Each structure stands twice: as structure tokens, then as C-alpha cells.
A and B are shown apart, each in its own frame.
Chain A
Amino acid sequence: MGVAAKAMKQKRLDLLAISMLVVLLLAALHMMSGAVQRSEALDQWFLPLLIFTVAGLVVLVLLVGWSVWQLLRDYRRQVAGSRLNVRLVVTFVMLSMAPVSVVYLYSLQFLSKGIDSWFDVQVDNAMEDALSLSQVALDLHKRELLTLSESLLTSVEDSSQTALAFSVGDMRATSGAIEISLFDLQGKTIGLSHQNPDVLTPSPPSGGMIRQAVGGKNFVALVPVKNNQLVVRCMVLDPLKRGLLLQAIYPVSDTLSALTTNVQDAYEIYKERAYMRGSIKFSFALTLSLVLLLGLFGAAWGAFYTSRRLVQPIKDLSEGTQAVAEGDYFKRLPMPKNRDELGFLVDSFNEMTRRIEQSRNVADASRRELQNQHNYLGTVLGALSTGVIALDEHGLIETANPAAEQILHLGISEEQGKRLDALAERDEELRPFVDRIAGGISEGHAEVTLYREAGRQVLLCRYSPLQLDNQGTTGHVLVFDDVTELVRAQRDAAWGEVARRLAHEIKNPLTPIQLSAERLRRKYLKQMSEDEGDVLNRATNTIVQQVEAMKTMVNEFSDYARPCKMQPRPLEIDVFLADVMALYEGGLSRVHFFPNAPGCMIEGDAIRLRQVMHNLIKNGQEALSEGEEGMVQVSSGLYEYAGRQFVQITVQDNGCGFDADSLDQVFEPYVTNKHKGTGLGLAIVKRIVGEHGGNIRAENVSDGGARIVMRLPLRPLIENKQEEITAVKESQGNKA
């Protein structure tokens, strides 16, 4: 069973319970009304009925109070439908209260006046007069009987109590009394005569009667006996002072007795009702008030129930609308039982949310498709080795792929939403690149050369317009490749080809030339005079020496053109350098070594690296001026760049330095400052360093001299070496 069905069932049970309570209360009030109207059967049930009615009314008041509290709470919280609910409840209550109150007030007034009309002054007086008349008649009768009783005693002249006792029978017979009895002054019985011979004891006189009679005031009273019969009871003191008391009980005639009894009963009833006039009014008013309260609170609860039922679909609609506004398109409202206008509205709402949900599902599918395409494009861009930067119509960076960041060595994603100038502001080395893009690339592509700290970098850029949407908004896409290695490889290949051809074309005729020159000297030297022989000897020697020089040059070309055959092995750089530097100990030029990379290993070919070091040291020595100040310093150290670690080897001299104009081309073949040399030394050095994955650069020292800085990648370290390197770095920091 669903929640809504359970709630509906609970509501029905509540309604049934409340209805039963109201019916029971009405029944109780009806019975109370009957009891008030002197129904003997319900007389004993008055108090339980009153308690039940009041308790039921209290329950009803609590229910209404609870409903009021809920309504006010909803109103304060501005719950949907609460205002309409309040208006409906107030309207219903006012509509029911007005007529009921009018009826109540008029009923109360009518009731009061109706009860008052029962009691009239004339009726009062008549009742009083009837009672007085009865009393007068009875008093007259009583006085006659009292006189008769006194005469009975005086009629007996005998003073003997025994004689008097015997005469009571005559007295009773004479007087017609029911009973005649004689007592002494202490109340002791002397004689008795009763019309019933079976009665042997006199009716006992009360002490008051005896005291009153002994006191000189004879007693006479009208006394009711069984069956509402009246008798006259007299007690008289003997006027002859014989110490006797006579009690006489006389019957009252049936007619007189009945009449006086009727008068007395009517008077008592009237008097009692007149006395209870206020109480009767109060009782009826109480019953009427309970009816009023029951009606009012029943109507109030009915108003709450009805308004809730009326407002519920509107409340559902309001909540549903709010849910839709918050994006809940799955909201469905329960259909009201009555297929009225509200039902039609709820049905339309459900249809609307159903359609919105369908549209949303379609939109979600499109969004997912778009997201997939975006992911696909991102994956493709991420996999590209070509850098891609997208700019919007304002020239602001929108996206950049990882390759762009790698090529430019810059986190471009941090500059998203900024102009391209921001890249140059962060890295001034990128300024030529930015300026070239800003200047426009009319021919579609351009080659930009950047002079980075690590060396020259050549970028091949393409700059194309990019349509961003259907409104013609156009941005740009910048695509660039790092072609530094490609350019270098092309140049190296070209120079290698030149060298190979030179070696091949020149080296072949050199040996015949040299042999021919030696043969000429050997064959003709002996036949010539000393002077002529001397000339021949010098000429042939010159030819041989130049041929040797050309052979050396050709061999160097051959070495440069020869393909690389690396035999790498782990080298501890400081140990390796110390080994190389040992060859220069005791030389004419001072060569000093400053090891600062203890324990640092590289993967390298020791023979070729030794060639590199010899070339660099030799170049430094050749650049030194003669004198004691000349000095070549070789040092090692650690260097970190872009998260990678390198071993940095510096060879510095205090000679004449490089020619400033050709500083950028010192590593190009056939570029040299020296009078002798092929210009291939530094080219070979750069090639070997490149083969080891390193880089090299040349610079002039401000105090004079040249400096070659070479960086070779550090061999991946095992963990226990890492701590040593850290220690080394700290020691370097301390030295600095």
C-alpha cells in the first residue's frame, strides 16, 4: 500500500472517529435534555452524561485547537495553500457562528422568559391563600379537638388514677378518638384505650410534647400517618391538677385529609419549583450552551476538514510547481477523487511534467553525446605532439593542449581567459613568439626562433581562424611544432654529407701526392747539388707536411661524418673527470678541477666523453695568453630544470673569449676563431653531448674569458643515493 493510500485511509478513520464522537455527544446531550425535563429513567445518568459530554467537548476543543495551531504554523512558515486555508476556515466558521449565536441568544432569552412565566404573583398568592385556608380550617379543627380533650379530663371528677384509667375507654368512645391514653407527669403510662384492641401500648409522646404540656401550654398538632392520612394529636394537662397528662389522637375526615393533603402537595411542588427557578434556568442554559459549543466546535472542525480537502490539490499543485522550478521533473501529483476543474488542472500538470521530463531526457542524451565528443577531442589533442592553443574572438586563451605546455615549458591552463601577452609576461623568452603571433601570420605559417636558457628553440607556427558558433563569431587556433631537433638534424646531416664527400674526394689523392713527393726527394736528392738538393728537400718536406696536415683534416671530417656508435655505461662523473684531469697535472698551463657532484652517475660513453673533455680543455689552453695568469677551471655540479636533474660540467678559461658576433655559431662546423683548426672541434663536442641527451652552450665571462657549460642527464638513482644527492645539494648551497 502506498504512502498516499495509507494517508487517505488514516484520514477516513479520523473522519469516522470524529463523526462518531459528535454523534455520541449529540446523543448524550439529548439524554441530558431528557433528564433535565424530569425523566425519571435518565435521572441517575445525569452526572455521567454531563461528564461524558464535557470530556467529549474538551476532546473536540483540543482537536480544533490542534488544527488551529497547525494552520497558524503553516501560515507563519508560508506553506503553500496556508493562506487560502485560513481564509476558507475563517469564512466557514463565521458563516456557521453567526446564525448559531443568534439562535442561541434568542433561545436563552425565550427559555428564561418561559420559565419566569411559570411563576406568577397571582398564582403565588393563590397558593399561599390556599395553604392559609387549609391551615385555618385545620387550626379550627385542632382547637375544637383540644377543647374536647380538656373537657374529657374535667368530665371525670374521680381523683383516683385507677378510676381514671378505667374511664379512658368511655372518653375515647365519647370523643370518637382513635386513641386515648393517660400519663403521669414523668410520662409513665396510666391508662390506654385504642380503637384497635390489639394495640396494648400507647403511641409514645415525645419529650417536647410532655414538656410543653407540663409547662402549661397544651400540645396539639396535625400529624401525617400512613397512606397520607392525617391525625390530630393532643396532649393536655389535667386542669384539676391531679398530676395527669392526657394524650388524644383524633382522626381527620377523609375529605378534609385529602383536600388538605392535595393543597399541601401542590403548594410544596409549587414552592419547590419557585425556589429552583434559577437552577432550572441554569440547567437549561447549561444544556443549551453545551449544544452551542458542540455545534460551534463541530462546525469549526468541519471547516478545517473541508478547507483542507479543498486546498489539498492546490497545495499539491503549488508544491509541484516549486519542485519543477527546482528541477525535479519527475514530480507527479496525486489525482483528486473528484474529476472537477482542479482534477483537470492536476492532470494537465502531470502531463506537463511528463513532457518536460521527456525533453530533458533528450537534452541529457545530447549533452552526453557532446561530452563524449569533447572528451574525444581532448584525448586527441592530448595525444598530439603538436602544441594547440585556441583563442576566442577577443584573443583570450580558451584552451591549450598538454603538448603546447611542454613545448613552451609553461602552464598555459593557468593563463586561461587571459591574452597571449600573459605568456610573455610570465616567461620573457617567449616574447618573440608572442610578438610574431600578434603581428599576424599572413602567409599562414611562420618559423619563430626562441633563445632559451637551454639553447635555441625553433617553432613552426600556423595561425588559422576558427568559427565558434553560427552567429559568425570567429576565434583563432594556433598550432605550433618544436622543430629545433629537426632543423638541427637536417643541418647535421648536410654537414655530415659535406664532410663525407670531402674526405672521400680529398683523402684519395693525398697518399699518391705524398709518395710521389718522397720518391722525388729520394731519387733526385743525391743527383743534385747541395743547394738544389736543399731546395728539393724543403719543397718535398713541405709537400709531405701539408699532405699530413690535409690527412689530419680529412680524418677529422671523417670522424665528424662517421655514424655514432655509443657504448654507454654508468659513470660517476667526479671520478671520471678526475681521471681525465690527471693527464694535465704538471702541464705548462694550469688546469684546476673542482668536483662538486660526488656520487652522481650518468650513462655515457667514456671514450667519447673523454674526447669532449680533451677538446674543451685544449680549446681553453689554446685561448690562454702566455703568462702565469692563464688558467683553465673545470668544475662539476648538479642542476635542476623543469623537474629534471642534470650533471653540469663547466670549463672556463680566462683567455680572450669568443667573438661576440659568432657566439651563437661556435658549435657550427667550420666556425673557429683560431688560425689553425678545422672548426669541427666544438661541433663534434656538441654532437657527442647531444648523443648523450645533454645540451651545451658557450658564453663569455664578464671578467674576461670563455665558459662552456655542458649538462648531461643524471642517471636514475637508486633510493640510497638520493639522500647523498640531497646532502650534496645542501653542501653546494653552503658553499654558495
Chain B
Amino acid sequence: MAQLLKAAAYLLLLCVITVQAADLVFSKVTLTLSEDDRVFVDAQLKYQLNETATEALENGVPLTFEMRIQMRDADAWVWEKDIVEYRLRSVLRYRPLSALYEVRDLSGGAKQVFATRISALRYMGRISDLAIVNRDKLDLNKEYLVRLEAYLDVEALPLPMRPKAYLSSDWDIEAEPWEWRLKP
């Protein structure tokens, strides 16, 4: 119980959000301050590919998703630089020979295969213990804005598909941005 309380004391904030039906949904996001004063992010992004994207995937078109995590001064102007910015890019691809779904992490280079699309998407949507910033780098008197975005990178599609993708809402696959005000 005491450990739980201590953990709760370290917990700066915890947010669980559920957004209405969309292609991508942040089903759970957690910000945690560890004992060594580092802020961690845990998140679960739920992918719901529409028919167009699924068809493209099954026909061998690789789909690139990007999750962007940024932290900035809440009062900062638009042109001011972010304090923290992470771009986690993953490519989902179907391998017809093995009938497996391959997930490749473009940030780290790791590659995972999955027998089903659902398990591959679940794997892609999971962010565990991602340390984004040290507390000592933050001004304790300021308020910060943490923002998570996730979307399909249309620019990574094969070029012939892009003109249609620019015009079609089927390819406008993105999550409702998640924002949280953080006071260290």
C-alpha cells in the first residue's frame, strides 16, 4: 500500500482518453514521473484501417505510420522550437509468401512479423516507457503542453498513389491529437 502511495506521489499525471470512432484512436495515454525525475510516456494507439488502406496493404503496398510526441512551452509562439520532439515511424507490410505481416521500426530498425494484421497493428500501437525528458530540464514555474499525434504518412505511399491520396478522404488516416498540460 505504501509503495502504491509512493508511486502515486511520483505519478505526475495519468490520463486515459477515449475518442469517438476514427481510423486511429489513442485508447490510453499515461505520463509518468519516475524516481530519477524522468518523464515517461506509455500509450496505446488503436488502429482501425478502412477498406481502402486494407486493400492496398493486402496488395503489397507498404503503409507508413508516424507517431509524433512533442512537448513545448504552453505559452510559446508557433514559431518557437519544441522542447522535445519524437517521431516514431513504423512500416506495416504484408508478405504474401509467408502470409505474415511485417512491422519494421524505421527509428530503431527492428523488424517483427505477425501472423495476423490485428496483432501487427496492436504491436505498432503500443508505446512502453518512452522517456521523453528529464525533469531538471524543465522550468518548474512554467506550464508545458504535451501533444501526441498519429497519422498515415501519405508522402510515403508509392508516388502514383499520392495524387489520389491527396484528394481522397479514405487516405486521410489520423488520430485525434491528444494534448495535456503539464506542470512539473
Contacts and interface: CB of A to CB of B under 8 A. Distances in A.
Interface string A17-36: 00000000000000000011
B97 A276 contact: no
Interface stretch (A220-228, A309-317, A504-512, A722-730): A220-228
Nearest to A225: B111
Given A134-B97, A263-B97, A264-B95, A36 B159 contact: yes
Interface of B is mostly: mixed
A46 B163 CA distance: 9
Given A264-B97, A267-B96, A267-B97, A276 B161 contact: yes
A138 B59 CA distance: 21
Contact of A272 (B60, B98, B99, B164): B60
Contact of B155 (A47, A224, A271): A47
Interface string B44-60: 00000000000110011
B9 to A, nearest CB: 33
Interface of A is mostly: helix
B159 A221 contact: no
Contacts of B97: 131, 134-135, 138, 222, 260, 263-264, 267
Interface string A126-137: 000001001100
A498 interface: no
A324 interface: no
Contacts, number: 86
Contacts of B95: 224, 264, 268
In the complex, which range does the number of interface residues on chain A fall in?
A: 35 or more
B128 interface: no
B60 A282 contact: no
Interface centre among A35, A138, A271, by most B CB within 10 Å?
Answer: A271
Contacts of B160: 36, 276, 279-280, 282-283
Interface residues of B, number: 27
B59 A275 contact: yes
A178 B92 CA distance: 27
Contact of A276 (B96, B111, B158): B158
Interface in B101-145: 102, 111, 113-116, 119
Given A272-B60, A275-B60, A131 B96 contact: yes
Interface centre among B116, B160, B161, by most A CB within 10 Å?
Answer: B160
Contacts of A268: 60, 95-96
Contacts of A271: 59-60, 96
A224 B155 CA distance: 27
Contacts of A263: 97
A193 B65 CA distance: 37
Given A276-B61, A282-B160, A283-B159, A208 B115 contact: yes
Given A134-B97, A223-B100, A267-B97, A35 B115 contact: no
Interface centre among A264, A267, A272, by most B CB within 10 Å?
Answer: A272
Nearest to A37: B159
B102 A224 contact: yes
Given A47-B155, A279-B160, A282-B164, A274 B98 contact: no
A208 B98 contact: no
A286 interface: yes
Nearest to B166: A47
Contacts of B119: 206, 208
A50 B115 contact: no
Contacts of B56: 275
Nearest to B167: A282
Nearest to A270: B60
B162 interface: yes
Interface of B: 55-56, 59-61, 95-100, 102, 111, 113-116, 119, 155, 158-164, 166
30 contacts: A38-B159, A43-B159, A47-B166, A50-B166, A131-B96, A135-B99, A208-B114, A222-B97, A223-B98, A223-B100, A224-B102, A224-B113, A260-B97, A263-B97, A264-B97, A267-B60, A267-B96, A271-B59, A271-B96, A272-B158, A275-B55, A275-B59, A275-B60, A276-B160, A276-B161, A279-B160, A282-B160, A283-B159, A283-B162, A283-B163
Interface of A: 35-36, 38, 43-44, 46-47, 50, 131, 134-135, 138, 206, 208, 221-224, 230, 260, 263-264, 267-269, 271-272, 274-276, 279-280, 282-283, 286
Please provide the 10 A-B residue pairs with the shortest distance between their CB atoms, ordered closest to farther: A275-B59, A264-B97, A272-B60, A268-B60, A280-B160, A279-B160, A271-B60, A222-B98, A283-B160, A279-B161
Given A282-B163, A283-B160, 17 more contacts: A35-B159, A36-B159, A43-B159, A46-B162, A50-B166, A138-B97, A206-B114, A221-B98, A221-B113, A224-B102, A264-B95, A264-B96, A267-B60, A267-B96, A267-B97, A272-B61, A283-B159
